[in-house]
Every structure is written in C-alpha cells, then in structure tokens.
Structure 1
Amino acid sequence: MTLPFPIDEYRQRQSRFSEKIKSDSIVIIPTNDPSIRSNDVHFPFRANSYMLYLCGWEEAGAFLVISKHSDNWESTLFVTPRDTKKEIWEGIRIGVEGAVDWPVDYAESIEDLEKILAPKIDNCSRVYSIAGVSKRLDKFLSDYPNTTDPRPALDSMRRIKSSNEIDHMSIAADIASKAHTIAMKKSKPGMGEWQIQSFIEGMFTEAGSETSFQSIVGSGDNATVLHYNSNNSITKEGDLILVDAGCEIHGYASDITRTWPISGKFSEAQKEIYEIVLTAELEGIRACIAGSNWSSMHQATSKVIAQGLIDLGILNCPLDEALGGEELDGPFRNYFMHGTGHFLGLDVHDVGGGRQGDDQEPPI
C-alpha cells in the first residue's frame, strides 16, 4: 500500500475539514467492515471513501480520529497491529510502526481504540461520526447518542477535485474506454454476456485497476433493464449489447455506458433510436458548463429525446405536453425514466448531490 498523493495534500484536507467543525470536538472516521461472501470467504476489501479522502489508508481495521481544541487540531490513525502468524496467511500489515509515516500526527493500535477514545470524548463538547459503517464503533458510541454526521462538511470538499484527483480519474476513464473498445471488437453473436464481461474486466485487471461497480452486460431485452447484472444470457443475431462498466485507481472511479449491435451493423429502427440518444448526449455535454445549474443537462437531453419520440410517431402530442412542463414528468418519461449524469470520484455515484431525487441541486 502506497499513498497516491503527496502527504501535504492529505494534511491540507484535514486542515480544511477542521475549519468546518466546532471547537472542542472529536471526529471519528471508520473504514468499512469486511464483508463475508460465504462461510470463511470474504469479498475483496474496499476501504471507506472518507478514509481514503482524508488519509489514504486502504487496509481493513482502521479508524481516523481528528481532535480539535480552540483553533488547534491533531489526527490519530488507529490501525491493526502487526501479527506474524496472521501475516503468514493474509499478507504483510503496515502496522502501527509503519502508520506513523502516513499523513497523521499519531498512530495507535485499534486494540486500544476504546481506552484512548473514552476520555477524549468525555472532555469534548461534540462528537462527529458516521453511523452504519463499523459495528464496533456503533456499539461504542451507543453510550454517546448525540453524535453529529460529518459528511455534509466533507462532501462539500470532495465535490471539488484537485488536479491529482482529476489525473487519477482520467487514467481510470482511459482504461475503461480501452476496455469497452476491446469488447466491441471481440463481441459476436452466440457469445455469452459473461464472455463480453470478461473482455472488459480482463482489461481492468491487466491495467492494474479494479471494477468500480458490478459490470452490466445486457443483450436484447436485458439491455432495457437499468441495473441488470446477471450477465448470463447468450447473445443473438440482431441484438443490441449495452455495457455499463467502469474501473477505479486508488479508489477514483470511471463509469462508461455504451451500446452497439452484436452483428456489427444497426438495423434501421435501432439506428433511429441510437441517433436520438447520441444527439441527446451531445446536447447534454454542451449544457454542462460552469455556472449552469445541474438540471440544465437533463433539460437539454430531455428535449432531444421527447422530440425524437414525437418524430418517430411513438408519442403523438406537442413537445411541451411530451415533456410535462418544468417538472419534466410527461409521457416521454415512459421511455427515459432516469436522470442525466451524476458526480464521479471516490464513489462511482459520488457525493455532493445532483442525482435524480436529491434535495439539493448543486451548481456546475
């Protein structure tokens, strides 16, 4: 495990975050608990995104604690200690000794977590923590019911990416783009959806990345299921293939969806629909400019799709009626039921608002 960014960048994040919280406070950021796949087999571990953002720690069994008194703050990283017997089976741990080189002031063993935290909490006026991530922390904090969620403050920071973060996301996007291109070239009728999935995810692995979400490879009717992920059908001549897949580098995600004809050529009906969607995408991109509201992208794409459905005779009504006014809830929604775009970063559906149904509409 190595830090993807300079130590100064993490320390600056911690400093900016400390400015957003009350004095005489303590913040406890847990990483994710490991998840069991079956019996004694675990799913691959993925660290909590807030842990990655604030200190870059990727190992399981860790807690980042930030204490603020007056205008001074300090950070302590609690980690799993070295254990020779377990390391023989599971791999070398960085341990407390190695964690002191991370972007924190102090490193401690998680075996001492409660013993060290209890007096700190008793001497502060406010506790910030994220519930539902660590069973151990939830149990410990059950004696301190008045905790505050730090995510609103952190989310406003995470929404604006540094140049280093953008570089990592660009690498992830390039890898995902190459993977989709490989799948387009290799796919042919009679293949299983899982085989096309293997072309894509094989490229992810070859490039040293990981999947950022479960890949969607849908053929024929399966392509109309928004979050289809069985990927177990055989493709047929004339099918369209929809692939929604992305990878991540040090937690920073890409997410690309593309549709193509398995036979290599669109039918006339498929081409008509594809051209509408492509035009809508380009209009959405043109609407995505600094200073615009987030909804401007969805308004642009919705107008193109609604008009396209009218032109094809699928909808028989004026454009305004098809759109449904400012709420954009007209009959075109029977064919375009999701929103347009989402934030991307340490989460594939990243924090900061902007998704359909969110209370807030962030500016671009």
Structure 2
Amino acid sequence: MKQFAARRARLAAAMQPGAVAVLFTAPEAPRNGDSDYPYRHDSYFYYLTGFTEPESALVIVAAQGDKPARSILFCREKDVQREIWDGFRYGPPGAKDAFGLDEAYAIGELDAQMARLLADCPAVWYPLGRGLPVEQRLAGWLAAVRAQGRSGITAPPAAHDLLPVLDEMRLHKDETELATMLRAGTISGNAHARAMRATRAGMFEYEIEAELLHEFRRCGAQFPAYTPIVAAGANACVLHYIANNAQVADGDLVLIDAGCELDSYAADITRTYPANGRFSPAQRSLYELVLASQQAALDAVAPGRPYSDIHDAAVRVLAQGMLDLGLLDKAKYGNVDNVVAERAYQQFYMHGTGHWLGLDVHDVGRYRDTTLEGKPSRSLLPGMVLTVEPGIYVRPTQGVPETYWNIGIRIEDDVVVTDAGCRVLTGAAPKQVDEIEELMRKP
C-alpha cells in the first residue's frame, strides 16, 4: 500500500494547511430486476486507496501546524450475514489496517464526521461541478457547520476542484503501474493473436470476440477495458462499431479494437488482418501505408517533444499515401502540404492518433499546456502512457478507386515515454504483414 499512501501525501501537500478533501467511489448500478451491473470502483478513488468496495468515501485532511496530514476511509460495516450472500467485507477496522489509512469509520457516520471536519476548515476540495454524490451532500454538511456559528465556528470560505490535481498525478505512471500495464498489454496482445489464429471465413464476429474474452479471463484479467470492436469488411469503416453480429466473408479484413482491464488498468490494442489469412494487393497497400504512418508516429514519441508531433507525423505519411494511391486527386491537391492545410485527409482519416491510457481507457490529463500563452501542445515526459493508433477508412465514394472501397484499417499500440524515446507495451500482438500471414497459416 506504499504507493497509495504516497499519492495521498502528495495530494495533501497540494492543499492549503488544514484543508479537507472528500471523494466518493462509484455507486452500484442496477441492470434490471434485482441484478446489478458488475461493479467497478471509481478510478480516482482507487488511485488514492486501492480499495474496491462500493459505498465508500475517502477524506484527506492536510497537515496544519504540528498536526500531520490524515487519511480517513468511510466504508461498509462488517456484516457476517451479508457476507454469506455478497462476499467478504473488510469493515472499518480491517480496511484501516489492510490499506494503511489513519482512521476508518462506517459509511453511516460520514455526515456527522464531515460536519466536524469542516468546522473552521479553510477550504474544501472535491470534484467540483461534476454532479457526484459529494455535491448532493455538501450543502447538508455546510448547513450543519453554519448551525454552530453562534459558537464562533465557521464553514469553509473556499472550494477547489480536486480532479485537476489528481489528473496531473495520474498522467505520470510509477513503476508499479507500468508493470501492471505491461502485463495487461501482453495479455491483450496474446488475445489478439489467438483471435487471428481462430478466424475463418464464415464465422460470425461474435465468435471472434469470444476468443478475445476467453483469453482475457483465462489470464486473470477482470474485465474488458471497453466494449470490444470486432468489425469485418465494411463494418471496419464504422469507428465505434460494437454490434459484432455480422458474418465474416472470404476476402474481408477484420478490424479488432479490444483490450483487457487488469487490476484496474486498461490496455487498448487495434489490429487488422485478412479473414482468409492473405492480404489482397489493395488491402496490403493500404495496410502498409497505415503501418508506415504508425512507425512515423512512434518515432515522434520522445521526452521533450510536443504531443501534437505524434498526430502530425502520422498525418503526413497518410496524406502522401492517399495521393500516391489515388484516394486523393494529385492534380487538385498537388502535394502533402496542401492536403494537410486543407485537411483533405479527413475524408479517410477523421480521428486523432492516440490518447492517454491508464486507469481509464481514455485516461485523464490535459493535452495542452494551459500555463503557457496560446496553450500549446504539452511536452511529453517519461512515465506518460499513450496509444498510437492511425487508421484509414475508405467508404464507397465517387472518384475513389473501387478496389479500396469498404476497407477499414487501424493499427494501435500502447507505449510509455522513456528517457530515450518510447517502449511499446503491446508487442505480443503481431502487426507486420508477414507475421500475420504466417500466424494465420498455423493450424
């Protein structure tokens, strides 16, 4: 629990002396009838505690004078009868010891304790303006404090948003986080390889999805990190396709965008491959273009370089390929600079080249440096983890060669910025043409 304690200490140090921060975990969500969705804790809450039970809240009191900072957990009471039905509960004493908290109380005591903790407090920190449970209850806590006003007790005169501080902390992964993410990437990469080996023309997309999910769970991952995309043929031109119910035809490309969640951390991989094990000439031309654009983007991942360089590098390679392959009219646009300036490439490549990755698949953290004039793209630093995922999507369009119609390709890897450049965390998933075709030839 040392890393969680260190994070709480960093947060407390960012607050005013004596200030109080409060954060709830996620609520349970009913699915239908008397069944709930599988429970998943709040990422911020987990980042600070490692605690995964519902009905929990964390309070951090910053140091003041000779009083050290304190971390206080509110959670469900120990209940042997409920444990028969729902499983183990730590209870406040057990949670305090197991998770290294300074104090722990039953969640039912939260209102009374907050009225005490906020008395004469200089500021309260919480997820400001997010419509979360803390906002629904804060008014009651403040009213309880103000009711003591005749005794000279005052309510906090200031409120601060807790999440921007946590966003910046979460953006920089420590070694423990990176080890978990490498394992998640390896499990996910092996699942993609398994899906490739299993694919045959005539299968349904959901059968391929089942191969992924089986491998995730077989290797200990708790969940998919997001709803998997298994898109064959023209479905691959739908960026967020999740129906996964079409039959795979001979000659289709299959685009899979899927990653597991392991110990709360996400992997995010996309691979595209031929259902029959052999790329057609047109498929291969587009695939190698996307692969080259991804390599250019990966080469741009290095400490000190702007985040925007990644997208810019991918776009220039894709734009040149669009001209060379006749997707864009060379007589009209002339050269890559004009394609980029007019954003003509967006007809076939309409999304960004990546995003932050961590406890959330689209993880927190700003992409621009808001402390500088003009808010330029922020510089990459060691420990940042991001995806690199260029693609190309060719829908039937007049003036576009029919041989490329209904081909959708995306290639995505997870990378961590290092002192020397970057390290790919998802190398277990094949992506070279020869690797894919060889893998799919194996029985």
Between the aligned partners of 1:131 and 1:216, the Cα distance in structure 2 is 34
Matched, 1:58 2:52: yes
| Among candidates 215, 218, 233, match of residue 231 of structure 2 | 218
Shift of 1:82: 1.5
4+ runs deviating over 3 angstroms: 131-136, 142-147
Matches within 5 A, 1:338-349: 338-349=351-362
Matched, 1:73 2:69: yes
Shift of 1:148: 2.0
Matches within 5 A, 1:179-328: 179-209=191-221, 210-316=223-329, 317=333, 318-324=335-341
Q: 1:205 to 1:133 in 2, by over 3 A?
A: farther
Shift of 1:353: 2.3
Deviation track 1:209-239 (CA, whole Å, cap 9, x = no partner) reads 0211111111111111111111111111111
Q: Contact 2:73 / 2:104 at 8 angstroms: preserved in 1?
A: yes
Between the aligned partners of 1:106 and 1:361, the Cα distance in structure 2 is 41
- Counterpart residue number, 1:3: none
* Paired amino acid for 2:120: N
Q: Contact 2:357 / 2:363 at 8 angstroms: preserved in 1?
A: yes
With normalisation by structure 2, the TM-score equals 0.76
Q: Contact 1:196 / 1:217 at 8 angstroms: preserved in 2?
A: yes
Q: Secondary structure at the match of 2:69?
A: strand
Q: Which moved more, 1:145-154 or 1:258-267?
A: 145-154
Matches within 5 A, 1:78-97: 78-97=74-93
Q: 1:146 to 1:39 in 2, by over 3 A?
A: farther
Q: 1:139 to 1:146 in 2, by over 3 A?
A: farther
* Paired amino acid for 2:233: G
| Among candidates 150, 155, 168, match of residue 180 of structure 2 | 168
| Among candidates 10, 13, 29, match of residue 16 of structure 1 | 10
Q: Contact 1:182 / 1:200 at 8 angstroms: preserved in 2?
A: yes
Q: Contact 1:240 / 1:261 at 8 angstroms: preserved in 2?
A: yes
Between the aligned partners of 2:131 and 2:34, the Cα distance in structure 1 is 19
Between the aligned partners of 1:133 and 1:65, the Cα distance in structure 2 is 18
Between the aligned partners of 1:223 and 1:350, the Cα distance in structure 2 is 24
Q: Contact 1:31 / 1:133 at 8 angstroms: preserved in 2?
A: no
Q: Which moved more, 1:79-88 or 1:101-110?
A: 79-88
Between the aligned partners of 2:159 and 2:185, the Cα distance in structure 1 is 38
Q: CA RMSD in A?
A: 1.8
- Which runs of 5 or more residues in structure 1 are unaligned? 1-6
- Counterpart residue number, 1:4: none
Q: Which moved more, 1:71-80 or 1:290-299?
A: 71-80
Deviation track 1:249-296 (CA, whole Å, cap 9, x = no partner) reads 211111100000111111111111101100001111011011100001
Shift of 1:138: 2.9
- Counterpart residue number, 2:109: 112
Q: Contact 1:353 / 1:360 at 8 angstroms: preserved in 2?
A: no
Q: Contact 1:247 / 1:255 at 8 angstroms: preserved in 2?
A: yes
Q: Secondary structure at the match of 1:52?
A: helix
Shift of 1:103: 2.3
Q: Secondary structure at the match of 2:39?
A: coil
- Counterpart residue number, 1:156: 168
With normalisation by structure 1, the TM-score equals 0.92
Between the aligned partners of 2:284 and 2:366, the Cα distance in structure 1 is 34
Q: Contact 1:32 / 1:60 at 8 angstroms: preserved in 2?
A: yes
- Counterpart residue number, 2:121: 124
Between the aligned partners of 2:367 and 2:86, the Cα distance in structure 1 is 40
Residues matched between the structures, number: 351
Matched, 1:361 2:377: yes
Percent of paired sites with the same residue: 36
Q: Contact 1:30 / 1:134 at 8 angstroms: preserved in 2?
A: no
* Paired amino acid for 2:273: W
Q: Contact 1:253 / 1:346 at 8 angstroms: preserved in 2?
A: yes
Between the aligned partners of 1:17 and 1:135, the Cα distance in structure 2 is 20
Q: Contact 1:76 / 1:106 at 8 angstroms: preserved in 2?
A: yes
* Paired amino acid for 2:347: N
Between the aligned partners of 2:170 and 2:206, the Cα distance in structure 1 is 34
Deviation track 1:47-87 (CA, whole Å, cap 9, x = no partner) reads 11111111101111111100124263100011111222222
- Counterpart residue number, 1:25: 19
* Bigger relative contact order (CA 8 A; separation at least 6): 2
Q: Contact 1:32 / 1:134 at 8 angstroms: preserved in 2?
A: no
Shift of 1:23: 2.0
Shift of 1:122: 2.8
- Counterpart residue number, 1:147: 159
Between the aligned partners of 1:142 and 1:219, the Cα distance in structure 2 is 52
Matched, 1:336 2:349: yes
Between the aligned partners of 1:227 and 1:339, the Cα distance in structure 2 is 14
- Which runs of 5 or more residues in structure 2 are unaligned? 143-156, 369-374, 381-443
* Paired amino acid for 1:232: N
Between the aligned partners of 2:163 and 2:128, the Cα distance in structure 1 is 11
* Paired amino acid for 1:298: H
